Amino acid sequence: MEIGLYIGFISFFLTAIALIIAFLYLYAIVTPYDDYKLIFEDNNIAAALGFGGAIIGVSIPLYSALVNSVSYTDFVIWGVIAILIQLIFALIVTRITGKYSLEAKISQGVIPVGILMAFLSISIGLLNAGSMSY
């Protein structure tokens, strides 16, 4: 095999990892609760489930961007779009107040709400990916 194939693989793979890391940083900013504190200090299972679902939810459209892109630049553009869609979703659903407040329930550690957040994030990721299949 040519060395260029390996360089291409490494470039796409490392960029995908960098995009996920950027997403992890930005997701913690757009959610009104401190994801990392809830998970690593408070052992909040609901927060961990919601955060894990968000990671899967963004990875699905990133995968779609990887397999459908015609160039590295095309992949990066679609990867950024995928992240923005997932972040907008998180921003909106975590701002719902009242009886269905994800922020309050996740902060309280209500596990079914964390599961719901995970499934919602994964569903948005699937729709996001399907929309990229041009």
pLDDT band per the 50, 70, 90 thresholds, residue 132: confident
**Total domain count, the chain:** 1
Task: Provide the sign of the torsion angle of the four alpha carbons 20, 26, 28, 30, taken in this order.
Answer: negative
User: What's the distance, CA 72 to chain centroid?
Assistant: 21
Structural contact between residues 79 and 88, judged by C-beta atoms closer than 8 angstroms: no
- Whether pTM exceeds 0.85: yes
Digit-coded pLDDT (tens) for 1-49: 578 778 889 999 999 999 999 999 999 999 999 999 999 999 999 999 9
Tokens 């996920």 found at: 20
Residue 11 structural domain: 1-132
State how far the Cα of 13 lies from the Cα of 23, in Å rounded to an integer. 15
Fill in the amino acid letter for 40.
F
Beta-carbon-side half-sphere exposure of residue 5 (alpha carbons within 13 Å): 2
Digit-coded pLDDT (tens) for 81-117: 999 999 999 999 999 888 889 999 999 999 999 999 9
